[in-house]
């Protein structure tokens, strides 16, 4: 077992959730070896062609990562681990929301505006559902056209992507959303909290509502506060000075001041620490992928490792 590879305990937690079998007449290459190869690349940021030989052919490792990013396998594994943690009461549902900007490498540019249509694997059974069954090639999600569709933009940091996340009270990502680097934080709060969905291990619908939400001044819009009140979510978000001044100038029509718990707000550092953990993976701290869905799969895998090791 090499540095950064899955331990036996981590592998035991994942093994039962992994896809079974490959295309008809064949089988998957060893899951553990391939996942360790993807982890090595995510941790170090090396080019796929430079993967050590102990992980097998680099094409196999790359294609597995691309396929599982497209069909949601990485996201499914993350959800299963989150569900197991929640069943044992190990999720702190005081959720913090924030974002971070990631510099995109020059090689991240140049994706096709419309991806080629996906072709089924050789030997795939017509009409079979692609994805975790492994019987057909997963469809490649369309980027929506150009740099914006691939979540690439221009900001003060240059050529960038931004990922928005919600983190639990133990600094672990609960939900992830990608946008171009110049997009604002506030308008993405509903999208991020809408991605929070932790399945139940038994009967019942997934848990989607935090006990409490903490966020900085970028999220202090009226629409965000209305959204949180409508869902019955308590929140601690500071009010900007210009908003306070505008409310006072309107007198009784300005409404009551927003409540703010200064002591509870100190806990918002959990999302900053979660971002630091994610950026400890070099392929997350710098985006090399042309396609947004593959980069999202990379970030999701990094989040999965954080959950396994926390």
DSSP letter string over 29-61? PPHHHHHHHHHHHHHH---GGG--GGG--HHHH
State how far the Cα of 247 lies from the Cα of 255, in Å rounded to an integer.
Answer: 7
Model pLDDT, residue 128? 39
State how far the Cα of 165 lies from the Cα of 173, in Å rounded to an integer.
Answer: 7
pLDDT digits (tens, 9 = 90+) for 112-142: 776 545 444 433 333 434 333 333 344 556 4
State how far the Cα of 199 lies from the Cα of 84, in Å rounded to an integer.
Answer: 9
pLDDT digits (tens, 9 = 90+) for 206-240: 999 999 999 999 999 989 999 999 999 999 999 87
3-state secondary structure of 179: strand
Residue 165 pairs with which residues in a beta bridge?
Answer: 98, 176
Residues 6+ apart with CB under 8 A from 129: 135, 136
Evaluate whether 63 touches 137 at the Cβ level (below 8 Å): no
Q: In 77-152, at which residue ranges do the beta strands (DSSP E only) sit?
A: 94-104
Model pLDDT, residue 104? 96
Model pLDDT, residue 203? 86
State how far the Cα of 290 lies from the Cα of 293, in Å rounded to an integer.
Answer: 9
For the chain, which ranges sit under pLDDT 70? 21-27, 114-145, 244, 252-257
Residues 6+ apart with CB under 8 A from 286: 45, 102, 103, 104, 105
């Amino acid at each position: 077992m090499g540095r950064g590879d899955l331990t036996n305990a981590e592998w035991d937690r994942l093994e039962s959730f992994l896809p079974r079998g490959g295309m008809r007449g064949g089988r998957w290459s060893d899951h553990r070896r391939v996942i360790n190869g993807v982890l090595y690349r995510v941790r170090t940021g090396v080019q796929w062609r430079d993967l050590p030989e102990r992980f097998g052919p680099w094409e196999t490792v790359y294609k597995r990562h691309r396929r599982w990013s497209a069909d949601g396998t990485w996201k499914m594994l993350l959800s299963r681990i989150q569900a197991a943690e929640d069943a044992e009461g190990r999720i702190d549902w005081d959720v913090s929301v924030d974002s971070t900007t990631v510099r995109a490498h020059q090689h991240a540019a140049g994706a096709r505006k419309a991806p080629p249509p996906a072709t089924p694997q050789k030997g795939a059974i017509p009409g079979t559902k692609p994805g975790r069954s492994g019987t057909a090639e997963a469809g490649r999600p369309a980027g929506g056209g150009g740099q914006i569709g691939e979540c690439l933009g221009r900001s003060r940091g240059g050529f960038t992507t931004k990922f928005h996340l919600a983190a639990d009270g133990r600094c672990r990502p609960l939900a992830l959303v990608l946008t171009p680097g110049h997009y604002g934080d506030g308008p993405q709060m509903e999208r991020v909290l809408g991605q929070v969905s932790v399945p139940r291990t038994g009967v019942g619908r997934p848990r989607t509502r935090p006990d409490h939400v903490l966020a900085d001044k970028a999220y202090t819009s009226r629409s965000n506060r209305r959204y949180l009140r409508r869902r019955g979510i308590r929140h601690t978000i500071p009010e900007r000075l210009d908003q306070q001044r505008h409310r006072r100038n309107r007198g009784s029509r300005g409404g009551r001041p927003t409540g703010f718990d200064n002591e509870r707000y100190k806990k918002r550092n959990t999302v900053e620490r979660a971002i630091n953990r994610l950026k400890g993976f070099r392929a997350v701290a710098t985006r090399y992928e042309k396609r947004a869905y593959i980069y999202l799969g990379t970030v999701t895998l990094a989040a999965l490792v954080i959950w396994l090791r926390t």
